Structure 1
């Protein structure tokens, strides 16, 4: 058997392996990537900046943001909504003006025809049979032409839909207002290390149980005090009396907000670790 016959490109069938290889090299099809730990944010990082929060705030759905970043995002959404709404109102007014102009032209044509009929003493005899040709009765002047600028068909503008006027959370897509943001604070770890808190790998602890907080530890925020505690503390201590152990205030079930944390890079953390980007389909 010659050497060329053993190559994968010498077969008469376009194999599945060759199709995947060509799709990957040419950029066709959906690209799937398994995310590692380096691609996942830490539990105390902002969902927008992906950096540790200086002024952490949380939404009612449990998404953590830096206060400056989320306020800038809300402001940008409001500016974008106002711009889209202005364009929509402008297009709506243009359509209304066009309809008014058409109605006005129809009325003028009716008046003109009325005076023409009244001024003439005879009526033109019209043929009972109408021609089906597209070149009769002046239709030849209405045909579009791509060679003559005067007869080139105009491109119709796309109709804009009324924009959504609600500011939404960038992560959950739920409506979000500034007053809904809850200020929280983490309890720094007291290990005698004088380095900056951002430079440490282990930064914060639960203020009740003193357990170290991390991506592998489920956490919750207490709305009444803004403290971040572990879910184990919530289940074993707080849910018994529903009293905030930090300030002693009465709590309700809605005051316990589970924090959307990062992941460890392992599949068992309950976080989707697959990213998919859709692309053009390659037809074979």
Structure 2
């Protein structure tokens, strides 16, 4: 005998009815037609596109909306470039301060060693064994033939700069290692300089070009690549008194069929006219020209326009998911 519905909670798993009554867990719902934008709607403002333009991948948007989007992206790219320049300037300044400190230490140790106050083993440079052995330069052929004495050693300025820079870098590295060795092993959460989160974060550039964000797979976008969309409108039959309130709908210029979310459309990048895919295959590709304006069109200029679908299983299935954690 089955249990009563009010006492049906002693099983080892939840039933479908019990899962629907819970306020936590993963919930999903299929989106219908009302949750999808129309074929001629802008993917930015979700309204019917005003002065519609199309990107090279077939995404429609308002001319004003896409201009504002590109401008905002360019401002963000400029801000990131300025942030990177500021970070590089700070790093260069820190490096110059380290080299200056290392130069002061080298000079002070040299003065102390000359005065006999500091031994070589006690110096900071002695820990790195940065003594540079200057090789003897070979004699010239004329000097060898004459048997003359070795000419005086000469070192050019570039070599001196390289050696001094290498020595400063070694001393700066020794200073950092000595500072790290003095820090405690365990972090102190009450000291700001020793907290685990007190780390230098590097700023990374996320955008280098303006991108089209109509889909998850973004692609490059520029004002030169935008194509003005030219729909052919068909005015519905109305009385003469209602001509001012007539409503137009986009149709294919060849087969005169109205466009819907289930219609597969293609746009010609050369002129901007929109046709259905079947008419493009039968007429546009064969003739190599637009049937409306007669403009020459290549096969690579025909771009399929993408839409969100009609909400049915064959016209774009979309689901919304929500996850909540159970707190007891």
Q: Deviations over 1:49-82 (max 9, x none)?
A: 1110110001111111110000000000001111
Q: Deviations over 1:217-272 (max 9, x none)?
A: 11111233322111121122222212211112221002211111231111112x34
Structure 2: how far apart are the matches of 1:108 and 1:142? Answer: 23
**Larger Cα-atom Rg:** 2
Q: Give the aligned CA root-mean-square deviation in angstroms.
A: 3.7
Structure 2: how far apart are the matches of 1:206 and 1:166? Answer: 35
Q: Where do 1:90-101 residues align within 5 Å?
A: 90-101=86-97
Q: Where do 1:206-225 residues align within 5 Å?
A: 206-225=252-271
Please tell me whether the aligned partners of residues 57 and 64 of structure 1 are also in contact (alpha carbons under 8 angstroms).
Answer: yes
Structure 2: how far apart are the matches of 1:114 and 1:78? Answer: 54
- Structure 2, unmatched stretches of 5+, are 123-177
Change (3 A) 1:139 1:23: farther
How many residues get paired? Answer: 263
Q: Deviations over 1:8-49 (max 9, x none)?
A: 2x45x5x3669x9499724x66x5432211111100101111
Partner of 2:319: 274
**What TM-score results when the alignment is normalised by the length of structure 2?**
0.68
Q: Where do 1:4-19 residues align within 5 Å?
A: 6-8=7-9, 10=10, 13=12, 15=13
Structure 1: how far apart are the matches of 2:324 and 2:105? Answer: 52
Find the partner of 1:170 among 195, 213, 216. Answer: 213
Q: Where do 1:147-226 residues align within 5 Å?
A: 147=190, 155-172=198-215, 173-193=218-238, 194=243, 203-226=249-272
Deviates more, 1:50-59 or 1:160-169: 160-169
Change (3 A) 1:224 1:24: farther
Partner of 2:308: 262
Matched, 1:84 2:130: no
Structure 1: how far apart are the matches of 2:301 and 2:309? Answer: 24
Aligned residue for 1:52, secondary structure, equals coil
Partner of 1:109: 105
Please tell me whether the aligned partners of residues 267 and 273 of structure 1 are also in contact (alpha carbons under 8 angstroms).
Answer: no
Partner of 1:68: 64
Please tell me whether the aligned partners of residues 30 and 317 of structure 2 are also in contact (alpha carbons under 8 angstroms).
Answer: no
Please tell me whether the aligned partners of residues 192 and 198 of structure 2 are also in contact (alpha carbons under 8 angstroms).
Answer: no
